[in-house]
Amino acid sequence: MQIRVFDQADSSAVIALWRACGLTRPWNSPSRDIARKIAEQPDLFLVAEMDGQVIGAVMGGYDGHRGSINYLAVAPEHQGTGVGRALVERVEDLLRQRGCPKINLQVRLGNGDVGDFYRALGYEPFQVIDFGKRLIPDD
Q: What's the pLDDT band for 125 if we cut at 50, 70, 90?
A: confident
> Which residues, listed in sequence order, are joined to residue 91 by a DSSP beta bridge?
none
CB 11 within 8 A of CB 59: no
Please name each of the domains of the chain with its CATH number: 2-120 (3.40.630.30)
Among 62-66, 103-107, 128-132, name the one with the lowest average pLDDT: 128-132
Tell whether the model's pLDDT for residue 111 goes beyond 80: no
pLDDT digits (tens, 9 = 90+) for 32-76: 999 999 999 999 999 999 999 999 999 999 999 999 999 999 999
